[in-house]
Structure 1
Amino acid sequence: MGDCCQPSYASLRSAFAAAAAANGATIANGAFLTVGAILLWAVWPRPRTGKIAMVFLAIGGVLVMMVGFLPWDLFPEAHGAVALTQAVAQWVGMIILAFALHGRALARGSAALTIVSLLISMIGFVLFIDAISGGPSTALGLGIIERIAFDTLTIWGAAVGFILLATTRSTRSTPKIADTFEAPAGR
């Protein structure tokens, strides 16, 4: 057989480093989502709804970390089950958060971004399930569809975080974000 079919040590080391970096980034992403949910626990205009949303988002963050600790190439069943559970937890948290933000003038952008991101992620997930089942969306590319389904959630978290930071800076108020949201007219 010879060396033509054997991967070199350098290529194996490079592949391992890339996988470790990707899994480490996933773990960090989950940690950021969890910490963000904890830090934003009591700042929402509708406190009860906001807190419920933060519980689901924190659970989603812990599950994202588990996805990183359970790489697909080593633990495919566990990775898939945890990723599915994470997506559902985060989707539920996003839906509840959209309600927590509903009707607040400065929060409309965050609520709209949340709903659009949720829809994109769920559509990507349906396409992902179709693709791994051998359906027609396989032609789009499994990796691309997976990124749409799951990375949309990551981008959403960062974008909403930046919006919240910009909102609190632009109003120059106390750190409590709920104070920066305007109540809807007539309430």
Structure 2
Amino acid sequence: MSYEFHAGAMIIVTLTAVLAIFLVCKTSNRLSVLIGLISWIALSAYFIIEAIVIRATAAPYSFLNQPMSDLGVTACGTDTYLLASYTICSPYHWLMNWTFFLTGLFILIGAVLLSPLWPKVRSAKIANILIGVFGVSYAISGIIPADIDFYWHTLTALPGMVVQIPAMILISIAIHKKMPRIFWWTIICTIVTTAALLSLFLQPVFTGLPGGLLQRILYASVYIWLTGTAIGLWSRRIHKAQQKGS
């Protein structure tokens, strides 16, 4: 199927998801929280899908050195987009782009639906908005692959490389007293994603740094943080329900 078909389908899914979120938020707080928790836990599936796409590549692909975006390039060949002077051929590009898109969408859904679980303070509200921005940024990278429009693919992806760090810092400030376990989990993941971002900035100086691996760590630390945070929030809800029942 053509790129236009997949892009159109992604836009339809986005509009449907927005409507569904609105309806769920209006009807059932318990259901909305459950959907939000599942959305963030489902992010762990990304790693399995990426491995499948890499195994299917018809041209050599370097997990350590090539960016994740190469797996979503829709055409096979050399110079498929600016800066890609090497050969790219990813037959499962459609699967990778849908994974980028749905990963971002699930992050956004979780940010919206799980907002009632955070302390009612300004830092948590700002952090939640930044997490939503991260999700939108990531989703757009699936809608606009690098070879379709490198400028917009890159421009819209840039916020998703940075906003997660202030989001995680603000969340940790908001929860350090009420949720100590999630607080320390957030601190660890913040250190990892910040170190990866700083290392990427240093690539022009230290050319031997594995850019592809650093990019994966940058994003993977956020997926893992969100998955672990969702599990922690779920555990807290179960514990509170048991205390009320006893």
TM-score w.r.t. the length of structure 2 is 0.58
Aligned residue in 2 for 1:66: 140
Matched, 1:126 2:198: yes
Q: How many residues align?
A: 160
Matched, 1:146 2:215: yes
Q: Which structure 1 segments of 5+ residues have no match?
A: 1-9, 175-187
- Is the contact made by 2:111 and 2:129 (CA closer than 8 Å) also made in structure 1? yes
Change (3 A) 1:157 1:32: same
Aligned residue in 2 for 1:34: 108
Deviations 1:125-157 (A, max 9, x none): 1212322x2x32x43422111111222112211
Whole-angstrom CA distance in 2 between matches of 1:127 and 1:71: 25
Q: 1:116 aligns with which of 184, 188, 194?
A: 188
Name whichever structure is richer in helix by fraction.
Answer: 1
What pairs with 1:154-173 in structure 2 (closer than 5 Å)?
Answer: 154-172=223-241
Q: Which structure 2 segments of 5+ residues have no match?
A: 1-56, 59-75, 77-88
Whole-angstrom CA distance in 1 between matches of 2:194 and 2:152: 21
Whole-angstrom CA distance in 2 between matches of 1:161 and 1:61: 16
Aligned residue in 1 for 2:118: 44
Q: CA RMSD in A?
A: 2.5
- Is the contact made by 2:193 and 2:222 (CA closer than 8 Å) also made in structure 1? yes
- Is the contact made by 2:118 and 2:175 (CA closer than 8 Å) also made in structure 1? yes
TM-score w.r.t. the length of structure 1 is 0.74
Aligned residue in 1 for 2:166: 92
Q: 1:75 aligns with which of 129, 139, 149?
A: 149
Shift of 1:123: 1.2
Shift of 1:118: 1.5
